Structure formats: structure tokens, C-alpha cells
């Protein structure tokens, strides 16, 4: 059993792992009922909402860990880190390896995040007596992973995109003797049903506006 880890620095680095929202490359499970172009538009809106929220947070550094190229949806204030090749666990591990000090990674599939939701991690005492933060997703994955010391070995080798991914990732942390605190579960945007649920949960964002407009157009 390992000794509990302690942060190297003060403030947290916040990473957003994302794909360039290109038709046919993102949110393919939204088609149908949405077209590939509409699915990409929804993905862009989800990413914009996520990045806009991150810009309001008190962090040391903001990293956009991107597969593809930045577009007009990418605001100033982020350092862009290209994703490495390999499986998702390898890409997440490489992103953490680029960080020094506490780091929190989130995805682009939860545009309903708010500053209040992430406040426990980013508060001055967020890492006191805590080695990791874990945000479970309702589909069995995870939407947030925070590491006091961003050791890529804490992620590499965990099977991703499975119903038991979240359970396995959290077990990896606890089996190494780390103290883990949990964030509330959230629903990822994967299917059309998910998209409707998330749009209703965050009705004032760009994602909800885009989802409403595309849904209304589909029934005309």
C-alpha cells in the first residue's frame, strides 16, 4: 500500500479533454435522430459551454487536450495540448503527465457543469488530506478525475468506454492506498435521450439553445 500523495503546487491545473467537433467524428450515437452535421453542432455547443465555465474557475492553468484542431469555439485563455496517439487511457495518462501539481480533468460531454459543482476541488482546502477526486458518470464511466500528484500510472491500463470503467478507475486509486473524495454523478451526452436530459438540466446554456432549435426543426 502506497503512502498518500501530497500536492506539489498550490492552485489546480484544469484539463478539458475533447475532440474537434467535426461531422461524422463526434457524437455519432446522436445519429439518428440528428444528422452528422447536427450532432457536430451539438458537440460544439457542449464544448463551448464547458470551456466558458472553465474560464470562470480559479485555477492555475487551463489546458485543452484536443484531438484535432482548435476552432472558433475555442476561447482565449487555454493552452492547447494535442492528444497523443493510443487508447483513451493512454491519452488521459499523457495529459496528466504534462501537469505539475494538482490536476483535474473533465470531458466535453457534461455541459451542465457549474462553478459550484467543482468548487470543492478548487477551494483552498480542496486537496487537504485528499489524493484524488472522482466524478462518476451515470453510464458507468467518469466525468471528472482529479489527482493531487498527476501520475500517469494511476490511469494507464484502466479499460475505457465500458460500463465498469468508473468502478475500475476508482478501484485503481483506492487499491493504491489513495484517499478519494467523490463529486456528484452526472449524465454524459451520448444519446438523443441523454441530450434532452442534459438540455433540460442546464436550460440557459448554448447546448440547450442548440438542442431546442434542432429539435424544433426536426418536427416541422
SS (H, E, C) the chain: CCCCCCCCCCCCEEEEEEECCCCCCCCHHHCCCCCHHHHHHHHHHHHHHHHHHHHCCCCCEEEEEEECCCCCCCCCCCEEEECCCCCHHHHHHHHHHCCCCCEEEEECCCCCCCHHHHHHHHCCCCCCCCCEEEEEECCCCEEEEEECCCCHHHCCCCCCCCCCHHHHHHHHHHHCCCCEEECCCECCCCCHHHHHHHHHHCCCCHHHHHHHHHHHHHCC
Q: Where are the domains of the chain?
A: 13-218
What's the pLDDT at 220?
Answer: 52
| Average confidence (pLDDT) over 179-192 | 97
Residues 96-105 pLDDT 10s? 999 999 999 9
Largest Cα span, the chain: 61
Residues 11-49 pLDDT 10s? 899 999 999 999 999 999 999 999 999 999 999 999 999
Q: Which three cell numbers stand for residue 30?
A: 446522436
Closest CA to 130 of 106, 154, 153, 147: 147
Closest CA to 89 of 161, 155, 176: 155
Q: Which three cell numbers stand for residue 18?
A: 475533447
Q: What is the pTM of this model?
A: 0.92
Residues 133-174 pLDDT 10s? 999 999 999 999 999 999 999 999 999 999 999 999 999 999
CB 139 within 8 A of CB 220: no
Share of the chain above pLDDT 70, in %: 95
The rounded distance, in Å, linking the Cα atoms of 61 and 72 is 21
**What is the architecture, at CATH level 2, of domain 13-218?**
Alpha-Beta Complex (3.90)
Amino acid at each position: 500500500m502506497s503512502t498518500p500523495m501530497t500536492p506539489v503546487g498550490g492552485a489546480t491545473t484544469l484539463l478539458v479533454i475533447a475532440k474537434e467537433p467535426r461531422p461524422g467524428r463526434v457524437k455519432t450515437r446522436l445519429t439518428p435522430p440528428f444528422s452528422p452535421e447536427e450532432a457536430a453542432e451539438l458537440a460544439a455547443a457542449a464544448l463551448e459551454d464547458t470551456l466558458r465555465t472553465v474560464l470562470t474557475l480559479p485555477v492555475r492553468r487551463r489546458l485543452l487536450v484536443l484531438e484535432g484542431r482548435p476552432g472558433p469555439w475555442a476561447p482565449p485563455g487555454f493552452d492547447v495540448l494535442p492528444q497523443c496517439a493510443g487508447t483513451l487511457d493512454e491519452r488521459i495518462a499523457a495529459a496528466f503527465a504534462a501537469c505539475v501539481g494538482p490536476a483535474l480533468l473533465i470531458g466535453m460531454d457534461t455541459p451542465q457543469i457549474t462553478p459550484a459543482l467543482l468548487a470543492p476541488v478548487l477551494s483552498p482546502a480542496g486537496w487537504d488530506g485528499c489524493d484524488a477526486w472522482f466524478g462518476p458518470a451515470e453510464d458507468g464511466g467518469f466525468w471528472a478525475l482529479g489527482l493531487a500528484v498527476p501520475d500517469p500510472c494511476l490511469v494507464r491500463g484502466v479499460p475505457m468506454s465500458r460500463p465498469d470503467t468508473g468502478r475500475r478507475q476508482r478501484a485503481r486509486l483506492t487499491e493504491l492506498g489513495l484517499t478519494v473524495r467523490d463529486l456528484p454523478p452526472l449524465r454524459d451526452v451520448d444519446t438523443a435521450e441523454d441530450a434532452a436530459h442534459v438540455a433540460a438540466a442546464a436550460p440557459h446554456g448554448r447546448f440547450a439553445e442548440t438542442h431546442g432549435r434542432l429539435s424544433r426543426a426536426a418536427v416541422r
